[in-house]
Chains A and B, each alone.
Chain A
Amino acid sequence: MSQSDGDITQLLRRWREGDPGALDEALPAVWDELRRIAAHELRAHRGHDTLQPTALVNDVFVRLLGAKNLDIGDRKHLYTTAAKVMRQVLVDRARAQAREKRGGGAWQRVDFVEALALPIEADTDIPALDEALKALAEHDGRVAQIVELRFFAGLEVSEVAILLDLDERTVYRDWAMARAWLRQRLAA
């Protein structure tokens, strides 16, 4: 699939003009773009600095959308959707890798999750995490959303708090609790 910048920009415009489906359509291409940038950055700055995913997402959108600032409503939608897409991308990749692994193909762990410095531990079983998150969402959608934004959009706790209009300390506690809950569940 090769979608030109123009197409993506077009889709994002439609999204800003009130077509929510357009963002979903655009995001896979956006993440391809993100990955390309991440890989490039990684080569250029090997071992020096980690990429800030928030900044990166912003950069990409700014570049594609030509808008300097997104308002908070847009941003909330953007990040939550982006996190969902990222989650899906990672789950698909993990499954594909598992298939390769079973087929005996070589498998490299280093990828753009690392490059993007998402706070997911290296040996996490992503599909299992995905399942656990679904279960968590049934208990408490808000807590699950915090995890999603942290894990898959790489947002800091403070950013999550602003985005969701929550007290920062509450987000910390929810985050710590959700992680404990997930650890317990994934260890079982």
Chain B
Amino acid sequence: MNANDALAGRFARVRAAFHDLIEMEYSQRDAALAELARTDSALADEVRALILHTDEADLVAQQEQGPPLQIGPFRLLRRLGRGGMGEVWLAERADGAFAQAVALKRVRDGVLSPDLARRFVRERQILARLQHPQIAHLVDGGVGSDGRPWLAMEYVDGERIDDWCATHRLTVEQRVRLFVGVCDAVSFAHRNLVVHRDLKPANILVDAEGRPRLLDFGIARLLDPQHTDRTQTITAMTPAYAAPEQREGGDITTATDVYQLGAVLRELVGAAPDGASVLRGDLARILDKACESLPSARFAGVAMLAADLGDWVERRPLRSGLGSRRQRMRRMAWQWRWPLAMTVAVLLAVGTGVVLALREARAKAREAEVSRQTTQFMVSLFKGADPTVARGASLSAQDLLDQGNARLHGSTRLPSAVRARLLRTVADSYVALGHYERALETAQEALDLRRAEGDPGDIADSLDQVGNIFRLKAEYARAEALLREALSMRRAALPADDPAIIDSMTHLAALEGAQGDFRAADALFIEAAQSARRRFGDGAVETARQLEGYAVNLDDMGRRNEALTVYRQVLDIRERALGPDDPDVAATLLSLGVHLTDSGHYDEAVPLLERALAIRRAVFGEAHPLVAIAQIGLAGAHADKGRLDAAEDLATSAVESLKSALLPQHPKTTEALSMLALVRTLRRDYVGAIPLQRSVLATFEGTLGENHPDALTAKNNLAYALLHVGRAAEAEILLRDVIAHKRDDNGQASVQHIQNLANALMLQGKHAEAVTWQRRAVDVQQAREGPSSAVMAVALRELAIAKEVAGQDPEGDYKAALAVATRASRSHVVDLRPWAVALAAYLVGRQRCDEAVPLLQKADGADNANLGEQDAVAVGQRRLLFEACAMVGDARGREAFARSCQALRAMPGIEADVYPTTRHLLATHCPEQTAAR
């Protein structure tokens, strides 16, 4: 028996069963299906599904006699359509009392019993009162002489919403905007206790003014012959948009409409030209929530759905708290504040995508210092840990915790106040281990116990703890409620300036900062610092602690000079009070060092970071996680400076020690891995970077979520590395994803991500598209910082390259790029060589060596400046181009040229980084690689 026969045989059995069952009464079918299921449950399922999808009207002869010319007071004009339930006619008042076009609906076969007919009349009166400009209202209705009910609806001259969106080529955002109007109308109906329950594109028209108009509100129920709120028939719904409860015969509620709205919007968005990319991220979360199969898990009402959609469109945080946009806004804010201080390494790299991420990874080292509490617990947890037994320490620490926790959990002998205090401590330890889930469970148990005990101080303490854990998990809405409750309890119970109140304010400030509201955070930090000053004095370490949080927030706000002043102040207080070798001094040195690195002051930063590292080594021992964190900070500084060997050594060591000290999925371990991957990328060790980057991505996606900014950054970095090993197609997919989601944040993907994508396209020969994206990068940068930033100089140069490769005239852009770079170099550390060489490369390619050579000679002078290893590409290209021009056929010239070829070719992934002429020379003019390789 071949496959086709098997298929047909199977279908024959389904058909036979269907034929039997369809002739039975409803009541007998279930029993028959159950019987069938006993022998072949798959068969029974198939038949059940078919019966569910059967229109019973298909089983009887259609009444094909022409319809009456007039129904009620209406004259039928022409048939508008025929669907599962009946027919729709365009009709007008026959008595000419007033001109009104209506859409008149007749049920196909339903003949109502007198009882149901009365109910029909009563309910249509309710519908008739449903007056909303965007709802086609019920004009009239009745039961015809043939016993078939009819309804006259306001006739809407419009186009189906899906067709309208297609003809007007609406973007996702425009579609969502339009759809919010649909939701508003549905919400109005719900407030009037009318559920639509058959929402689908055919029932949503857009009129000539572009307003969405809803048809058939409440009609599905009205025309349902069973006339019940449970769906036992399938005639009154459209399977494609049916909610699970409709398919399964459950209760129909407003949640059913929420589901259908979600299903329709998903289709509209998916069909948008930019749809595929947006159907992830926050909008996807909204749609998923609307279409949850459990009605209670959906939005509590259409208004909430509309609110979230409105927020999404306006790029506000979602009111429902779905998604992580608030966090992303914070990320973007601090990604934005540095472009002016772009460092040499950024501007030297032809492909720039990786350096921004380096900055992020480094800033983690500073962030780590913010959570003072975590630090303290790490200290206590690992205090005195013998480096030789450190491997596996976290496991034993966790085993102890788990055991202790289990014992606490079951214990009834301990007084609950004591149990709560111990649980609280265990929870803090879990936080230190990066085990937020377990920390949360434990802390919440402590909170419950303390609430039962009723001591306000203890309750506030637990509220504060649980709130902080939620903050770490980026569940900000919940965190905020708890932290605020803790603060107000403490304010009510304690004297002003009590340390507990100060703590509460600091935690709330950190939360505001995490959500991107730096101003609110600023106010709270100032208040906390002032309280601390009053309570402890200007020079107290407690005051310094508050000031440190304040400084980090200033950094986040981009008020860098003020931040620097405060960091120095904190350092001063701590050095005076605690001596030069205290761990708190080390923490400040680390923050300060990272800050200085970000401003490009390596020479100042490196000694501070080295000192921080030395203090921690002395105090905690080599294997301690805090040592590793300091190593990450120092590695970042070295990487920026181009000291890649030193950077890799430090990063490797940090990874090793964090891996043995902490759980593999601990955020700090992943951050260290990310730094190591970045350093390897900068070294052009792409083969070594890719697996690390993949594991970083997988961990971030697993622990933070797919669209978390850290995960997206990791994705960008992975794509960048892939670009350099000839896997541009793979990189393209990743980068499109990154751009789509970063765009969720603020309407603009970062310039670097766009440039990476354009490069990926160019390397695949998609030249025109590459130009388009490079142009977009220029536009984005223009909107961000205006026409004359250093980043703009990069963007213009990349545009020129893309144009050249695409066969367009790039000369103006090369020159504009050089001019912008020259202007930027007046206020920043900018090495002009990449722009000069880029223009020169173009000129060489056009056989204009006389113009190119002076540029190349000028760039030669800069080669001697020590600008790190990153510029090897620029140096190599400059030489190659120069020799290409100088070569007049003599042997020495050819030899020198060949050497330059080899120098460039020795660099892995060089094709992705060189100018078009260089690439051409490498491919066609360089001698075949010889045994030298």
Contact = CB atoms under 8 A, between A and B. Distances in A.
Interface of A: 46-50, 101-102, 104-107, 114, 119, 121-123, 138-140, 143, 156-158, 170, 172-177, 179-181, 183-184, 186-187
B829 to A, nearest CB: 51
B163 to A, nearest CB: 7
Contacts of A174: 15, 19
Contacts of B49: 184
A50 B240 contact: no
A63 to B, nearest CB: 24
Nearest to A106: B167
Contact of B7 (A49, A106, A107, A139): A139
Given A101-B163, A102-B166, A179 B54 contact: yes
Point out which of A46, A101, A172 has the most chain B C-beta atoms below 10 A from its C-beta.
Answer: A172
A175 B58 contact: yes
Interface string B888-919: 00000000000000000000000000000000
B893 to A, nearest CB: 57
B163 A180 contact: no
Nearest to B83: A121
Contacts, number: 102
Contact of A122 (B50, B62, B83): B83
Given A138-B4, A140-B8, A177-B50, A187 B58 contact: no
Interface string B1-42: 000100110111001001100110000000000000000000
A184 B66 contact: no
A177 B8 contact: no
B482 to A, nearest CB: 44
A157 B62 CA distance: 9
5 contacts: A119-B62, A121-B84, A140-B12, A143-B15, A176-B58
A156 B62 contact: yes
A106 B167 CA distance: 7
B8 A139 contact: yes
B160 interface: yes
Nearest to B3: A138
Contacts of B202: 122-123
Nearest to A122: B81
B51 interface: yes
Interface stretch (B71-79, B417-425, B561-569, B692-700): B71-79
Contact of B60 (A172, A177, A181, A186): A172
B688 interface: no
Q: Is the interface of A mostly helix, strand, loop or mixed?
A: helix
Nearest to A103: B167
B110 to A, nearest CB: 17
A104 B167 contact: yes
A160 to B, nearest CB: 12
Contacts of B12: 140
B69 interface: yes
Nearest to A172: B59
Contacts of B23: 173
B458 to A, nearest CB: 56
Interface string B196-233: 00000110000000000000000000000000000000
Nearest to B159: A107
A101 B7 contact: no
Contacts of A157: 61
A46 B90 CA distance: 11
Contacts of B115: none
B8 A170 contact: no
B239 A183 contact: yes
B95 interface: no
B55 A47 contact: no
Point out which of A46, A119, A177, A184 has the most chain B C-beta atoms below 10 A from its C-beta.
Answer: A177
Contacts of A181: 50, 53
A179 B82 contact: no
Given A180-B51, A180-B55, A173 B18 contact: yes
B15 A140 contact: yes
Given A180-B53, A184-B53, A173 B59 contact: yes
Interface string B134-158: 0000000000000000000000000
Contacts of B15: 140, 143, 174, 177
